[in-house]
Amino acid sequence: MKASWDIFCCVVDNFGDIGVTWRLARQLAAEHDVAVRLWVDDLKSFERLWPAVQPSLASQRHEGVEICQWPQQWPAVQAADVVIEAFGCKLPADYRAAMAARPAPALWLNLEYLSAEGWVSGCHGLPSPQPDRLQKYFFFPGFVEKTGGLLRESGLLARRQAFQADPEARRAFLASLGVTVAPGARLVSLFAYENASLAGWFDAMAADASPTHVLVPQGRVLGDVQAWLAVDELAVGAVHRRGALTVQVVPFVRQDQYDLLLWSCDFNAVRGEDSFVRAQWAGQPLLWHIYEQEEYAHWEKLEAFLALYVEALSPAAGQALTDLWRAWNQGLAMADSWRRVLEHWPELAANARQWGEKQAAQPDLATALVQFYRNWI
Protein backbone atom coordinates (compact mmCIF):
# COMPACT_ATOMS: atom_id res chain seq x y z
CA MET A 1 0.00 0.00 0.00
CA LYS A 2 1.30 3.44 -0.91
CA ALA A 3 2.37 5.75 1.87
CA SER A 4 0.09 8.79 2.10
CA TRP A 5 1.51 12.32 2.18
CA ASP A 6 -0.33 15.56 2.98
CA ILE A 7 1.34 18.87 2.05
CA PHE A 8 -0.15 22.09 3.44
CA CYS A 9 0.49 25.40 1.69
CA CYS A 10 -0.61 28.94 2.52
CA VAL A 11 -0.03 31.10 -0.53
CA VAL A 12 2.13 34.13 0.30
CA ASP A 13 3.12 36.76 -2.27
CA ASN A 14 1.19 34.91 -4.99
CA PHE A 15 3.59 32.29 -6.32
CA GLY A 16 6.62 31.39 -4.21
CA ASP A 17 5.14 28.97 -1.69
CA ILE A 18 2.73 27.29 -4.09
CA GLY A 19 5.47 27.06 -6.71
CA VAL A 20 7.69 25.05 -4.40
CA THR A 21 4.98 22.82 -2.92
CA TRP A 22 3.44 22.05 -6.32
CA ARG A 23 6.81 21.00 -7.73
CA LEU A 24 7.42 18.87 -4.66
CA ALA A 25 3.99 17.22 -4.78
CA ARG A 26 4.34 16.41 -8.48
CA GLN A 27 7.77 14.90 -8.03
CA LEU A 28 6.76 12.79 -5.02
CA ALA A 29 3.83 11.34 -6.98
CA ALA A 30 5.76 10.80 -10.21
CA GLU A 31 9.07 9.49 -8.90
CA HIS A 32 8.44 8.02 -5.45
CA ASP A 33 5.08 6.25 -5.85
CA VAL A 34 3.35 7.89 -2.90
CA ALA A 35 -0.22 9.17 -2.59
CA VAL A 36 -0.06 12.96 -2.28
CA ARG A 37 -2.70 15.46 -1.25
CA LEU A 38 -1.82 19.13 -1.61
CA TRP A 39 -3.94 21.45 0.57
CA VAL A 40 -3.93 25.03 -0.77
CA ASP A 41 -5.71 28.09 0.60
CA ASP A 42 -5.62 30.11 -2.66
CA LEU A 43 -6.41 28.18 -5.82
CA LYS A 44 -6.71 31.35 -7.91
CA SER A 45 -2.99 32.03 -7.57
CA PHE A 46 -2.32 28.33 -8.15
CA GLU A 47 -4.27 28.56 -11.42
CA ARG A 48 -1.72 31.07 -12.76
CA LEU A 49 1.04 28.48 -12.36
CA TRP A 50 -1.06 25.54 -13.56
CA PRO A 51 -3.98 26.72 -15.72
CA ALA A 52 -5.75 23.35 -15.56
CA VAL A 53 -6.57 23.97 -11.89
CA GLN A 54 -10.24 24.86 -11.32
CA PRO A 55 -10.50 27.18 -8.29
CA SER A 56 -14.18 26.36 -7.73
CA LEU A 57 -13.55 22.68 -6.95
CA ALA A 58 -13.03 21.40 -3.44
CA SER A 59 -10.96 18.49 -4.76
CA GLN A 60 -9.38 17.66 -8.12
CA ARG A 61 -6.52 15.58 -9.52
CA HIS A 62 -3.65 16.80 -11.64
CA GLU A 63 -0.33 15.13 -12.42
CA GLY A 64 -1.11 12.29 -10.00
CA VAL A 65 -1.71 14.71 -7.10
CA GLU A 66 -5.01 15.28 -5.30
CA ILE A 67 -5.36 19.05 -4.95
CA CYS A 68 -7.69 20.11 -2.14
CA GLN A 69 -9.09 23.48 -1.21
CA TRP A 70 -8.00 24.33 2.34
CA PRO A 71 -11.38 25.42 3.76
CA GLN A 72 -12.10 27.58 6.78
CA GLN A 73 -14.38 24.85 8.11
CA TRP A 74 -12.11 21.81 8.20
CA PRO A 75 -13.66 18.53 6.94
CA ALA A 76 -13.30 15.21 8.68
CA VAL A 77 -10.34 13.55 6.93
CA GLN A 78 -7.86 10.88 7.91
CA ALA A 79 -4.39 12.20 8.65
CA ALA A 80 -1.65 11.01 6.29
CA ASP A 81 1.44 8.97 7.07
CA VAL A 82 3.63 12.00 6.34
CA VAL A 83 2.47 15.56 6.98
CA ILE A 84 4.40 18.52 5.57
CA GLU A 85 3.71 21.92 7.05
CA ALA A 86 5.28 24.13 4.39
CA PHE A 87 7.01 27.37 5.35
CA GLY A 88 5.56 27.77 8.81
CA CYS A 89 1.87 27.53 7.90
CA LYS A 90 -0.21 26.26 10.82
CA LEU A 91 -2.05 22.96 10.56
CA PRO A 92 -5.80 23.09 11.27
CA ALA A 93 -6.59 22.11 14.86
CA ASP A 94 -8.97 19.37 13.70
CA TYR A 95 -6.28 17.90 11.48
CA ARG A 96 -3.84 17.85 14.38
CA ALA A 97 -6.47 16.00 16.39
CA ALA A 98 -6.75 13.47 13.55
CA MET A 99 -2.97 13.05 13.64
CA ALA A 100 -3.07 12.39 17.38
CA ALA A 101 -5.87 9.86 16.90
CA ARG A 102 -3.94 7.72 14.44
CA PRO A 103 -3.05 4.25 15.75
CA ALA A 104 0.47 4.72 14.36
CA PRO A 105 2.12 8.14 14.57
CA ALA A 106 2.47 10.35 11.52
CA LEU A 107 5.78 11.90 10.53
CA TRP A 108 5.24 15.65 10.86
CA LEU A 109 7.75 17.81 8.98
CA ASN A 110 8.10 21.58 9.04
CA LEU A 111 9.54 22.34 5.58
CA GLU A 112 11.50 25.54 6.05
CA TYR A 113 12.48 28.28 3.62
CA LEU A 114 15.70 27.82 1.68
CA SER A 115 18.82 29.32 3.26
CA ALA A 116 22.59 29.01 2.96
CA GLU A 117 23.20 30.28 6.50
CA GLY A 118 25.68 28.21 8.48
CA TRP A 119 23.31 27.29 11.31
CA VAL A 120 20.91 25.50 8.94
CA SER A 121 22.91 22.25 8.74
CA GLY A 122 22.96 22.07 12.56
CA CYS A 123 19.17 22.41 12.83
CA HIS A 124 18.19 20.23 9.88
CA GLY A 125 16.31 17.14 11.01
CA LEU A 126 16.01 18.18 14.66
CA PRO A 127 12.83 17.16 16.54
CA SER A 128 10.43 19.64 18.09
CA PRO A 129 8.13 17.98 20.70
CA GLN A 130 4.54 19.18 20.53
CA PRO A 131 1.48 18.87 22.78
CA ASP A 132 -0.93 15.93 22.37
CA ARG A 133 1.90 13.38 22.04
CA LEU A 134 2.92 14.70 18.63
CA GLN A 135 6.40 15.55 17.45
CA LYS A 136 7.52 17.40 14.38
CA TYR A 137 10.90 17.75 12.72
CA PHE A 138 12.57 20.71 11.08
CA PHE A 139 13.52 20.02 7.46
CA PHE A 140 15.75 22.54 5.72
CA PRO A 141 16.46 22.68 1.99
CA GLY A 142 20.03 23.75 1.42
CA PHE A 143 23.19 23.89 -0.63
CA VAL A 144 25.57 21.83 1.50
CA GLU A 145 25.75 18.37 3.02
CA LYS A 146 23.60 17.76 6.12
CA THR A 147 20.71 19.73 4.61
CA GLY A 148 17.74 18.58 2.52
CA GLY A 149 19.13 19.68 -0.84
CA LEU A 150 17.21 21.43 -3.62
CA LEU A 151 14.14 20.50 -5.64
CA ARG A 152 15.33 18.76 -8.78
CA GLU A 153 13.36 16.31 -10.88
CA SER A 154 15.07 13.23 -12.26
CA GLY A 155 16.90 13.96 -15.52
CA LEU A 156 16.41 17.74 -15.25
CA LEU A 157 19.99 18.70 -16.08
CA ALA A 158 20.17 16.26 -19.00
CA ARG A 159 17.00 17.79 -20.48
CA ARG A 160 18.39 21.28 -20.01
CA GLN A 161 21.68 20.38 -21.67
CA ALA A 162 19.88 18.81 -24.63
CA PHE A 163 17.70 21.90 -25.04
CA GLN A 164 20.62 24.32 -24.83
CA ALA A 165 22.55 22.26 -27.39
CA ASP A 166 19.67 22.57 -29.88
CA PRO A 167 19.43 26.09 -31.37
CA GLU A 168 16.26 25.18 -33.26
CA ALA A 169 14.50 24.10 -30.05
CA ARG A 170 15.41 27.44 -28.47
CA ARG A 171 14.28 29.40 -31.52
CA ALA A 172 10.96 27.51 -31.66
CA PHE A 173 10.24 28.03 -27.97
CA LEU A 174 10.99 31.74 -28.11
CA ALA A 175 8.88 32.05 -31.27
CA SER A 176 5.96 30.50 -29.33
CA LEU A 177 6.20 33.54 -27.03
CA GLY A 178 6.44 35.93 -29.97
CA VAL A 179 10.15 36.54 -29.36
CA THR A 180 12.74 36.96 -32.10
CA VAL A 181 16.27 37.71 -30.90
CA ALA A 182 18.62 39.69 -33.14
CA PRO A 183 21.90 37.91 -33.99
CA GLY A 184 24.52 38.55 -31.32
CA ALA A 185 22.07 40.04 -28.78
CA ARG A 186 22.36 39.02 -25.16
CA LEU A 187 19.04 37.61 -23.93
CA VAL A 188 18.01 38.45 -20.35
CA SER A 189 14.92 37.39 -18.38
CA LEU A 190 13.61 39.72 -15.68
CA PHE A 191 11.28 38.42 -12.96
CA ALA A 192 11.50 40.68 -9.91
CA TYR A 193 9.70 42.68 -7.27
CA GLU A 194 9.44 46.46 -7.59
CA ASN A 195 13.02 47.79 -7.69
CA ALA A 196 14.47 51.31 -7.67
CA SER A 197 17.63 50.03 -9.38
CA LEU A 198 15.89 49.07 -12.58
CA ALA A 199 16.11 52.44 -14.34
CA GLY A 200 19.88 52.70 -13.88
CA TRP A 201 20.41 49.10 -15.02
CA PHE A 202 18.28 49.65 -18.13
CA ASP A 203 20.15 52.88 -18.84
CA ALA A 204 23.43 50.97 -18.75
CA MET A 205 22.14 48.30 -21.13
CA ALA A 206 20.71 50.91 -23.48
CA ALA A 207 24.09 52.67 -23.62
CA ASP A 208 26.09 49.47 -24.14
CA ALA A 209 27.96 48.85 -27.38
CA SER A 210 26.40 45.37 -27.63
CA PRO A 211 22.65 44.72 -27.96
CA THR A 212 20.58 43.28 -25.11
CA HIS A 213 17.03 41.89 -25.34
CA VAL A 214 15.18 41.78 -21.99
CA LEU A 215 12.13 39.55 -21.58
CA VAL A 216 9.79 40.62 -18.78
CA PRO A 217 7.09 38.12 -17.74
CA GLN A 218 3.92 39.68 -16.36
CA GLY A 219 4.53 40.59 -12.73
CA ARG A 220 5.25 43.24 -10.16
CA VAL A 221 8.30 44.79 -11.83
CA LEU A 222 6.27 45.85 -14.87
CA GLY A 223 5.37 49.15 -13.21
CA ASP A 224 9.05 50.12 -13.01
CA VAL A 225 9.61 49.02 -16.62
CA GLN A 226 6.63 51.09 -17.73
CA ALA A 227 7.96 54.14 -15.87
CA TRP A 228 11.40 53.79 -17.50
CA LEU A 229 9.84 53.51 -20.94
CA ALA A 230 7.50 56.43 -20.17
CA VAL A 231 4.50 54.66 -21.72
CA ASP A 232 0.88 54.54 -20.56
CA GLU A 233 0.59 50.76 -20.53
CA LEU A 234 2.51 47.56 -21.17
CA ALA A 235 0.55 44.66 -22.59
CA VAL A 236 1.81 41.18 -23.32
CA GLY A 237 3.70 41.25 -26.59
CA ALA A 238 4.72 44.90 -26.31
CA VAL A 239 8.22 45.56 -27.69
CA HIS A 240 10.12 48.79 -27.05
CA ARG A 241 13.64 49.76 -28.12
CA ARG A 242 15.93 52.37 -26.66
CA GLY A 243 19.54 52.48 -27.78
CA ALA A 244 21.04 48.99 -27.60
CA LEU A 245 18.22 47.71 -25.35
CA THR A 246 15.07 45.92 -26.50
CA VAL A 247 12.41 45.33 -23.83
CA GLN A 248 9.61 42.85 -24.46
CA VAL A 249 6.70 41.78 -22.25
CA VAL A 250 5.95 38.05 -22.35
CA PRO A 251 3.11 36.09 -20.75
CA PHE A 252 3.25 34.65 -17.27
CA VAL A 253 3.90 31.03 -18.21
CA ARG A 254 3.38 27.74 -16.40
CA GLN A 255 6.30 26.23 -14.54
CA ASP A 256 7.57 23.88 -17.23
CA GLN A 257 7.62 26.68 -19.79
CA TYR A 258 9.38 28.98 -17.34
CA ASP A 259 12.22 26.46 -17.18
CA LEU A 260 12.54 26.72 -20.97
CA LEU A 261 12.57 30.50 -20.71
CA LEU A 262 15.43 30.38 -18.19
CA TRP A 263 17.31 27.85 -20.33
CA SER A 264 16.92 30.11 -23.37
CA CYS A 265 18.43 33.19 -21.75
CA ASP A 266 22.05 34.19 -21.23
CA PHE A 267 21.29 35.88 -17.89
CA ASN A 268 18.35 35.46 -15.54
CA ALA A 269 17.09 37.92 -12.94
CA VAL A 270 14.79 36.04 -10.58
CA ARG A 271 12.96 36.57 -7.32
CA GLY A 272 11.85 34.66 -4.23
CA GLU A 273 12.67 30.96 -3.86
CA ASP A 274 11.15 28.86 -6.65
CA SER A 275 12.51 30.84 -9.61
CA PHE A 276 15.81 31.30 -7.74
CA VAL A 277 16.38 27.53 -7.62
CA ARG A 278 15.24 27.03 -11.21
CA ALA A 279 17.69 29.70 -12.39
CA GLN A 280 20.53 27.77 -10.75
CA TRP A 281 19.54 24.65 -12.70
CA ALA A 282 19.58 26.76 -15.89
CA GLY A 283 23.36 26.91 -15.67
CA GLN A 284 23.56 30.60 -16.63
CA PRO A 285 24.68 33.67 -14.64
CA LEU A 286 21.88 35.00 -12.46
CA LEU A 287 20.73 37.84 -10.26
CA TRP A 288 18.53 37.16 -7.22
CA HIS A 289 15.98 39.61 -5.86
CA ILE A 290 15.40 38.17 -2.41
CA TYR A 291 12.06 38.54 -0.64
CA GLU A 292 12.37 41.20 2.06
CA GLN A 293 11.93 40.15 5.68
CA GLU A 294 11.58 42.05 8.92
CA GLU A 295 14.75 43.30 10.62
CA TYR A 296 16.71 42.66 7.40
CA ALA A 297 16.82 38.90 8.03
CA HIS A 298 16.84 38.43 4.25
CA TRP A 299 20.16 40.24 3.99
CA GLU A 300 21.95 37.54 5.98
CA LYS A 301 20.47 34.91 3.66
CA LEU A 302 21.66 36.81 0.61
CA GLU A 303 25.19 37.21 1.92
CA ALA A 304 25.37 33.57 3.04
CA PHE A 305 24.44 32.36 -0.44
CA LEU A 306 26.82 34.74 -2.17
CA ALA A 307 29.71 33.53 -0.01
CA LEU A 308 29.15 30.00 -1.33
CA TYR A 309 28.31 30.93 -4.91
CA VAL A 310 31.38 33.08 -5.61
CA GLU A 311 33.82 30.84 -3.72
CA ALA A 312 35.37 29.36 -6.90
CA LEU A 313 35.55 32.67 -8.77
CA SER A 314 38.56 34.95 -9.09
CA PRO A 315 38.46 37.85 -6.60
CA ALA A 316 37.61 40.37 -9.32
CA ALA A 317 34.79 38.33 -10.83
CA GLY A 318 33.40 37.41 -7.43
CA GLN A 319 33.41 41.04 -6.32
CA ALA A 320 31.72 42.22 -9.52
CA LEU A 321 28.85 39.75 -9.07
CA THR A 322 28.59 40.44 -5.34
CA ASP A 323 28.41 44.20 -5.96
CA LEU A 324 25.70 43.69 -8.59
CA TRP A 325 23.55 41.58 -6.24
CA ARG A 326 23.97 44.02 -3.37
CA ALA A 327 23.08 47.01 -5.52
CA TRP A 328 19.98 45.29 -6.95
CA ASN A 329 18.72 44.34 -3.49
CA GLN A 330 19.38 47.77 -1.99
CA GLY A 331 17.98 49.85 -4.84
CA LEU A 332 21.39 51.35 -5.66
CA ALA A 333 23.12 52.27 -8.92
CA MET A 334 24.10 49.22 -10.97
CA ALA A 335 25.89 50.61 -14.02
CA ASP A 336 29.43 50.11 -12.73
CA SER A 337 28.89 46.63 -11.32
CA TRP A 338 27.02 45.55 -14.49
CA ARG A 339 29.92 46.76 -16.63
CA ARG A 340 32.35 44.72 -14.50
CA VAL A 341 30.10 41.66 -14.69
CA LEU A 342 30.23 41.88 -18.48
CA GLU A 343 34.04 42.02 -18.33
CA HIS A 344 34.07 38.70 -16.45
CA TRP A 345 31.25 37.05 -18.38
CA PRO A 346 33.05 33.86 -19.54
CA GLU A 347 34.23 33.11 -16.00
CA LEU A 348 30.79 33.80 -14.52
CA ALA A 349 29.11 31.59 -17.12
CA ALA A 350 31.51 28.71 -16.39
CA ASN A 351 30.95 29.14 -12.66
CA ALA A 352 27.18 28.99 -13.13
CA ARG A 353 27.44 25.64 -14.94
CA GLN A 354 29.85 24.23 -12.37
CA TRP A 355 27.67 25.37 -9.48
CA GLY A 356 24.66 23.53 -10.93
CA GLU A 357 26.70 20.37 -11.40
CA LYS A 358 27.97 20.59 -7.81
CA GLN A 359 24.44 20.97 -6.45
CA ALA A 360 23.17 18.11 -8.64
CA ALA A 361 25.74 15.79 -7.05
CA GLN A 362 23.74 15.98 -3.81
CA PRO A 363 20.39 14.24 -3.19
CA ASP A 364 17.41 16.30 -4.30
CA LEU A 365 14.83 17.57 -1.81
CA ALA A 366 12.07 15.05 -2.64
CA THR A 367 14.48 12.11 -2.39
CA ALA A 368 15.85 13.45 0.90
CA LEU A 369 12.33 13.72 2.34
CA VAL A 370 11.46 10.16 1.31
CA GLN A 371 14.72 8.84 2.78
CA PHE A 372 14.09 10.71 6.04
CA TYR A 373 10.69 9.02 6.27
CA ARG A 374 12.13 5.57 5.57
CA ASN A 375 14.76 6.06 8.24
CA TRP A 376 12.10 7.24 10.69
CA ILE A 377 9.65 4.37 10.38
Instruction: Kindly list the catalytic residues.
Output: 17, 273
Helix (H, G, I), strand (E, B), or coil: what is residue 41?
coil
The C-alpha atoms of residue 213 and residue 246 are separated, in whole angstroms, by 5
Put residue 259 in one of left, alpha, beta given phi > 0 → left and psi -120 to 50 → alpha.
alpha
- CA quadruple 105, 107, 110, 116: dihedral sign: positive
CA distance 256 to 260: 7
**Other beta carbons less than 10 A from residue 94's beta carbon:** 14
User: Long-range contacts made by residues 46-55, C-beta under 8 angstroms, separation at least 24?
Assistant: 46/11, 46/18, 46/22, 48/14, 48/15, 48/252, 49/15, 49/18, 49/19, 49/22, 49/254, 49/255, 50/22, 50/254, 50/255, 51/254
Give φ, ψ of 332 to 5 degrees: -100, 175
Element spanning 8, H or E: strand 4-9
Q: CA 357, CA 182: separation in Å to the nearest integer?
A: 30
Residues 6+ apart with CB under 8 A from 68: 37, 38, 39, 40, 58, 59
**Residue 145, Cβ density class (10 Å: 0-12 exposed, 13-18 middle, ≥19 buried):** exposed
Cα–Cα distance between 33 and 292 in angstroms, integer?
Answer: 37
- CB hemisphere CA count around 353 (13 angstroms): 10
154: closest CA among 32, 268, 273? 32
